[in-house]
Structure 1
């Protein structure tokens, strides 16, 4: 089976509008968790968010989409990150339109970021807005297909917070099985009343910047982002620069609760073990773990239990959600990009706001930047509602 190489990356998040800005924020420990400026909600006065520092109008201008109707914020964020990734990889139009190129994207909110407009259109309180075709989960994928004339296989995945990790896994499997030579993978989610109200009802939103793996953690911050990776078969890479290799992946279902993980971490342990085994390495060869690390009492306790069950000595670990907030369907691809930055920069970024280890573990995350460290293999975890657990192993090229 062919090796799967990463030849392009693109991202927009609360800590930057491109790769270089995101890296600069990670390197200098600058969080993007702030009061929201563009998102409108009853909760913006009381809750912090990981909001992209750019309005919809600014995004349209940057992308030259002022005269193109029906682009929700979800679509705009997707185009921004997607375009950076394909330019970074040097893909031309012929390659984008080739039937050997696939597109696998992911989202949970999709066009429902326009919650009020959706309500008005659905209840015939409007004359029919430009967004009638934009409310479904796959609307952003269809916009990408149309704009970039993609003709190969395409799909949109919604498995909650593991969505874009599963997009990466499916893309790698398509290449390994010979069904595609090149797959552009990733995900996007924007802030929406739909998700904010839902997470608030679950009582897991913090009124402060989240502090993953801290004994006093009290919840997560929601964020928005988009991130895409260009995956290519080793046979077609040629002389291109290669950022990393998708070495392994695992997926399992905790099958315990709609919005909580089981105390024995069945799904988490199984998917981590499967990812490491499929990479053909030992747990001791993992250099660093980018955890799911939401900052909620349940998740962090269970994930740490899973890590202690799998590793004799837990590698350095962090939660980059302390920078971006929890970006839901985009989280897996955002954190895959951050994992790649750790590999190529030989750095492990700190978990922010950490003060006190969780009782009974006393295994703190990385809390200060580690430089000049060889990062050969990264385990990146994404655990979704409904128990859908996915882990990726990314390796140095």
Structure 2
């Protein structure tokens, strides 16, 4: 089977509530981090929040009340992606359309508020909607209900690699002939007090409380942790034959998608980057491409000391001269389970626009990191193939290779 076609994109991020707004603000290269009222009592009281997201206007008041924010974002992204792909009843067999979404923890805020009621003995105050509002699989389930899809649907949880791993599974569903179309992506609302406190206790969050906008600084010598974010991305993936038969606009091709595991440590990457390098090599081999064919890398780029260094070492291992790199999290923060899908969508947009958005806040690159990181302003480039990396707790790795149509 030829490479899987990407025919639609949908995005909801702190940079904007659709694909166009997100891309435009990413290209400005300015962080969206601000003080967050919901984190006011936390040691790290800032995040990247999707302030422009208006679910009641986009979904209606009743549906917005019934579902949690990570589901709302996923549904809006899915609707945009399907519209972008010019798909709908009559263009698909609903039994052959799947949905695969990466989700890290689901609904933190709902869980926290519900547990507080239980702890205080307020059992009557616990909503019967708690489980369908908060279960990680419900984002995929609600999308199927909304669009009338009857193929396989599931949630994928591989920590910060979840969004990328969702595309790995979608690729398998398409290549096996199980589905003709798969809506694949990820969604997460990571900016709630439980995440803010626990990630801070682990030393993973930036402590630049006086300068939230300058906090996320991947590959910079002064980086001290990531910034919590939120968002969703959905990509419409199709069997090439299906896209061709309906004369679909093909945005890019998913040439390969590979997932591996470090088997090293619960939270830390392999220091020399060898496991990440192994995954990148496997993805290039599956795509039948050489390192020299890759024109750009959308890095995992969390802005933590260990992850950035390990990823840089992996890239130096695979590429004798790594192509230009960018780190999307510098602008929109870390959406955990949604991050890999958002970055895959941004990689497609780089192929479409032949442009690499800049990494924010990179003032002085870490002397131990020998990479060409795009910063300050977008860089025009002739791109035919790009790599998108995602790495997560548990040693989870996903690497995607995307190519021009």
Helix, strand or coil for the counterpart of 2:34?
coil
Q: Aligned partners of 1:283, 1:67: CA distance in 2, in Å?
A: 46
Shift of 1:369: 3.0
When structure 1 is superposed on structure 2, of 59-68 and 102-111 the one drifting more is: 59-68
1:91-102 to structure 2, matched below 5 A, reads: 91-95=87-91, 98-102=94-98
The 3-state SS of whatever aligns with 2:389 is strand
Q: Residue 31 in 1 paired to residue 31 in 2?
A: yes
1:2–1:361 distance in 2 versus 1, CA, 3 Å:
closer
Q: Which residue of 2 aligns with 1:84?
A: 80
What SS is found at the alignment partner of 1:386? coil
2:294 pairs with 1:286? yes
3-state DSSP class of the match of 2:82? helix
Unaligned 5+ runs, structure 1:
none
Matched, 1:224 2:230: yes
Between the aligned partners of 1:52 and 1:120, the Cα distance in structure 2 is 26
C-alpha separation in 2, matches of 1:394 and 1:184: 16
Equivalent residue runs for 1:169-188 within 5 Å: 169-188=168-187
Which sits farther off after the overlay, 176-185 or 60-69? Answer: 60-69
2:60 equivalent in structure 1: 64
Name which of structure 1's ranges 231-240 and 157-166 shifts more when overlaid on structure 2. 231-240
Does structure 1 residue 386 correspond to structure 2 residue 394? Answer: yes
Give the TM-score of the pair, scaled to structure 1. 0.94
What CA distance in whole angstroms lies between the structure 2 residues aligned with 1:95 and 1:161?
A: 33
TM-score by length of 2: 0.92
Matching of residue 213 in structure 1 with residue 206 in structure 2 = no
Q: Which residue of 2 aligns with 1:22?
A: 22
Mapped to 2, the partners of 1:247 and 1:21 lie a distance apart of 27
> Is 1:117 the counterpart of 2:123 in the alignment?
no
**Change in CA separation of 1:96 and 1:206 when aligned onto 2, cut-off 3 Å:** farther
Match of 1:336 among 340, 344, 363: 344
Distance 1:24 1:162, change over 3 A: same
Distance 2:101 2:370 in 1: 38
For residue 92 of structure 1, report the CA deviation from its aligned partner. Answer: 1.2
CA deviation map 1:249-268 (0-9, x unaligned): 22211111111112122320
Aligned partners of 1:162, 1:67: CA distance in 2, in Å?
29
**Count of aligned pairs between the two proteins:** 393
The 1-side partners of 2:147 and 2:92 are apart by 7
Give runs of aligned pairs for residues 42-61 of structure 1, distance below 5 A. 42-43=41-42, 46-54=44-52, 58-61=54-57
Greater mean deviation of Cα atoms: 337-346 or 363-372: 363-372
Check conservation: 2:39, 2:196, Cα contact below 8 A. no
Aligned-pair RMSD on alpha carbons? Answer: 1.8
For residue 99 of structure 1, give the secondary structure of its aligned residue in structure 2. Answer: helix
Compute the displacement of 1:151 (Å).
0.8
| Structure 2 alignment gaps of length 5 or more | 209-214
8 Å contact 2:55–2:72 — kept in the other structure? yes
The offset of 1:70, in angstroms, is 2.6
1:360 shift after superposition: 3.2
Structure 2 equivalent of residue 314 of structure 1: 322
The equivalent residue for 1:302 is 310
Task: Describe how 1:198-209 pairs up with structure 2 within 5 A.
Answer: 198-208=198-208, 209=215
Q: What secondary structure does 1:93 align onto?
A: coil
> What residue is the counterpart of 2:152 in the other structure?
153
In structure 2, the residue matched to 1:129 is 127
Output the CA distance in 1 between the equivalents of 2:237 and 2:255. 12
Counterpart-to-counterpart distance in 1, 2:286 and 2:129: 42
- How far off is 1:35 after superposition? 1.7
